[in-house]
Structure 1
Amino acid sequence: MTGALYFLALLSSTMASARVGLWGQGRNGTGDWEGKRCTCDAFLPSSTFPVKDLVVIEQTAVEITHKLELEMGKLETYESKLTAYAEKIVNLTAEIERMEKNPDSYTEAHLQDVKVEIKQVEALIVELQASIQGSTTVLESLRVQVNAMVVTLTKLEKTHDKNLVLVTRREYTNIQLQLEECERRHQELFNPNIGSCAHTGIIRVSKPFVSQLNAHLNSGYKYGGWGKDSKPVHGSESMYWYAGYSSPSIVDIKLYADYKNLILRNNFQHHNLQSGWTGTGNNFIVRDNTLYYQVNNPFSMAKLNFTSMKYDYRVVPKASSRFSYSHSYSQGFDFAADESGLWVTYASEESGGRLILAKINEPSFGIEQERQTSVYKPGVTNAFMVCGVLYAVRTVDIQTEEIFYKYDTNTKRESYVSISFERFQETFANLDYNPTDQKLYMYNNGYYVNYHLWFNHTTKATDESPALLS
């Protein structure tokens, strides 16, 4: 590819020189024809292709690929070590149980041998933990580099001939896929807490992980969402979905077999909702292969099962269409899913625009466990559920969002918190938590963005105050 880049640079330079000569003959040129000299005002084009930027990206891609190969090799080593450690622990446990049942059958020397083996396993575990932490740091560093690459490539595509960036874009996509696979395997190996609610809530949100511009490759598709099925049917655990529009009308949705196909824009299903199923708003989700979303005629909750293609809707008498999120239009219902089930938030005239949280009975598609909060919905940018706790988000400044409020349905208590996180672009339309990987998925001004979450697994919350309603 370096030879091709050199040719592009040479061609670009030659074309620029040619333009200078033509400009001099036809415009502000002054000539000394006897001396065969000519002077002119030269205006070099500002759109000369920045080959240096592509060379830097190419070199970075090679470095990242090499590092990823090393990390993938480490993961294989981790897997074999974990298997060996688990076997050692099982054998030691069985041995200790036998000793407890019949202590007189073992000598002091035998006891010392068992103690040595326990110390060895402890040392191996400490060693593995250090290796895991090192890999996590490397993966986070690589993610930062990949994000920088996508920003540069997007800029080049907007300002120059896209065909010249195509080869590098393919290389970048391959790197993204390798990094995603490496992170996925790392998470599966070393995050046993997926699906667990043995914590007291969110304590930190990661930097934004930007996948790419939407499947339409158009930043004008500001409305919509993306993510994974929060309760996938068997065989669809890796499935992703995407729906993006230029207005807040839900007219179709695309399903992708896995992350690779999402990035390559290769959907295996495309459902058109315009035949009487059109919805409105942005905070829709996919759960159990079913789309949950809002419709306006009549104003109600709706669902469409992709397996049976059965459509259903429910009017919620108290819900009002007059109260929406601060940066979202026509967002009366906001659907959310977590480890404990399916939820919906809305506001009513009776509540004065304050957010109401309700559990959805999935078989009957009915409302239950309705709770009113003290949060005024038009002052909120979005909300999501984690382990039965509602988290509300608001804008701090042009780059920052803040989780500022939570309502715990388990204790029926609310509290105010301050957990800031960064947006990739200024506005976003959709923010939802997925319990299958404990990530936040944001549709941020046309870009696929996600965040890792950190939870407090060690201490009890102390900042809670009674909620308005129990």
Structure 2
Amino acid sequence: MLPFLLLLLPAISPASAWMPVEDWESGNVTASVGELGQCVCHVYLPETTFPADRVQHMQQVSTDLILEVDIQRNKLESYGGRLDVYLKELMDLTVRVAMLESSPDAYIKLDFELLRIELREFEAIVSQLKESLNSSSPMFDSLYTEIRNMTFIVNQLETFDKNNLEVIRIEFAKLQKKLEECQIEQEIIKPDIGNCNNTGILSISKPMVIQLNAHLSPGYQYGGWGKDSKPIRGSESMYFYGAYSTPSVHAFVLYSDYDQLLLRAGYKQHSITHGWAGAGNNYIVHGNAIYYQINSPFSMSKLNLTSSLKEYRVIPAASQKFSYSYSANQNLDFAADETGLWVMYASEQSKGKIILAKIDEKSFGVADEMNTGVFKPQAGNAFMACGVMYATRSVDVSTEEIFYAFDTKTKQQKHLNIPFKKFQEKYSNLDYNPTDQKLYMYNNGYYVSYNVRFNKE
């Protein structure tokens, strides 16, 4: 037998590396006799080197494709969610247009204009979505058609809105008249801050109802609000508020300005600590301090708004038996005007008639006492203005009147008849503020204010 030698030779062509074995031709295997007479077989095998660079390239391409697919899928999901929202709003618009079509006389020109604006916005949204998806579909074409139809209907319906336009003109005329009346009243009652060259209050403006209290609760009907009657520098715009569901006093809230009061924001709260809880609601803020009544012991209390220090002074003659007609526990009534700080109360000796006393702000004591002719339970409230004490009482459910005045300079008293309107029947706080010559009333849970007109003849 001849010796056998097998030679394995790689294929020259790289393409043969991917050729299946069964596809090899017979020419890939040859035989011959060697120099020593042995049998030599020549077998041509495919390329044996593994193409790692190609596999790496394919893996990178596959990763990029998967990432792109994820991005496109997320975009489609996002657009799908937005389309759901827009289609729902579009359905709402369709209903509104149908209502307009059924009864066009019930709507005003502003309704049509708002609809047109919203339709233009929807048309822009559909265009944006179409460009983002870079495609067109029957859904987009249908949306465009529906929006154009709705716009046409709105424009057509507006031409039948003549009656409503006439109503709007009448309403605008009424509003303009009210604004003119308000402007005239503001010009008549023009404040003259700090000037007391007058013979007393001549009239009170209509009530300006600001809003419901900061607790947004009509149940907080006992309280007060207003401004510091003698503000320190930097606190000229500050407003205060305090209220509760009973005549008790538990906390005061301070707002930096009028806007913050309306927004119920940016406030600073002073909670009354145990043993210093107040009663009644005739407190005021004066000289960066709150003056209010406490019952244990029964006395007037002072809370410094900067240091939070508290102190109290007992008024021996003051009695807890006499309060105003609208609320209980209003035994001590604090007031301030151009001439200083005051406190009003009744005693057993005065038989329930109001005693007016000047408060010495430095010593926090009573400097002077004057007897008036007002039986306190008959009065709704009382306040000071330009050195004169004014007392109020109810006329009817919607009307109050200033019926009494006591001049601290002349010690003279007189009866008046100065009516003014109330927003609600009962109120728990009424105070004059000399910094703007306004009355501040806490009217059954609402902030109410009045302009004061003085007789300057």
TM-score range, shorter chain: 0.5 to 0.7
8 Å Cα contact 2:191/2:453 also seen in 1:
no
Q: Report 1:73-222 matches (<5 A).
A: 138=179, 141=182, 191=190, 193-222=192-221
| In 1, Cα distance between equivalents of 2:443 and 2:314 | 30
Q: Which residue identity lines up with residue 236 of structure 1 in the other structure?
A: S
Q: Does residue 392 of structure 2 align to residue 393 of structure 1?
A: yes
Mark the CA change 1:312 to 1:416 in structure 2 (over 3 Å): closer, same or farther.
same
* CA shift for structure 1 position 268: 2.8
Q: Does residue 269 of structure 2 align to residue 264 of structure 1?
A: no
Q: TM-score, normalised by structure 1?
A: 0.59
* CA shift for structure 1 position 275: 3.0
Unaligned runs of 5+ in 1: 15-50, 60-134, 145-182, 459-470
Q: TM-score, normalised by structure 2?
A: 0.61
Q: Which residue of 2 aligns with 1:426?
A: 425
Q: Which residue of 1 aligns with 2:310?
A: 311
8 Å Cα contact 1:389/1:406 also seen in 2:
yes
Q: Which residue of 2 aligns with 1:229?
A: 228
CA distances 1:84-131 after superposition (whole Å, capped 9, x unpaired): xxxxxxxxxxxxxxxxxxxxxxxxxxxxxxxxxxxxxxxxxxxxxxxx
Task: Give secondary structure in 1 for the equivalent of 2:377.
Answer: helix
* CA shift for structure 1 position 9: 11
* CA shift for structure 1 position 277: 1.9
Q: Which residue of 1 aligns with 2:451?
A: 452
Mark the CA change 1:302 to 1:9 in structure 2 (over 3 Å): closer, same or farther.
farther
* CA shift for structure 1 position 192: 6.7
| In 2, Cα distance between equivalents of 1:376 and 1:10 | 65
| In 1, Cα distance between equivalents of 2:93 and 2:307 | 54
Give 4+ residue runs of structure 1 displaced > 3 Å after superposition: 6-11, 135-144
* CA shift for structure 1 position 141: 3.7
Q: Which residue identity lines up with residue 347 of structure 1 in the other structure?
A: A
| In 2, Cα distance between equivalents of 1:364 and 1:316 | 14
* CA shift for structure 1 position 142: 7.8
* Percent of pairs with identical residues: 55
Q: Which residue of 2 aligns with 1:280?
A: 279
Moved more, 275-284 or 257-266: 275-284
Aligned residues: 300
Q: Which residue of 2 aligns with 1:333?
A: 332
| In 1, Cα distance between equivalents of 2:348 and 2:107 | 59
8 Å Cα contact 1:342/1:362 also seen in 2:
yes
Task: Give secondary structure in 2 for the equivalent of 1:230.
Answer: coil
* CA shift for structure 1 position 138: 3.8
* CA shift for structure 1 position 7: 4.3
| In 1, Cα distance between equivalents of 2:226 and 2:177 | 23
Unaligned runs of 5+ in 2: 1-88, 100-105, 115-175
Q: Which residue of 1 aligns with 2:370?
A: 371
8 Å Cα contact 2:247/2:329 also seen in 1:
yes
CA distances 1:157-195 after superposition (whole Å, capped 9, x unpaired): xxxxxxxxxxxxxxxxxxxxxxxxxx8xx99xx957211
Q: Which residue of 1 aligns with 2:408?
A: 409
| Greater Rg over alpha carbons, structure | 2
Q: Which residue of 1 aligns with 2:319?
A: 320
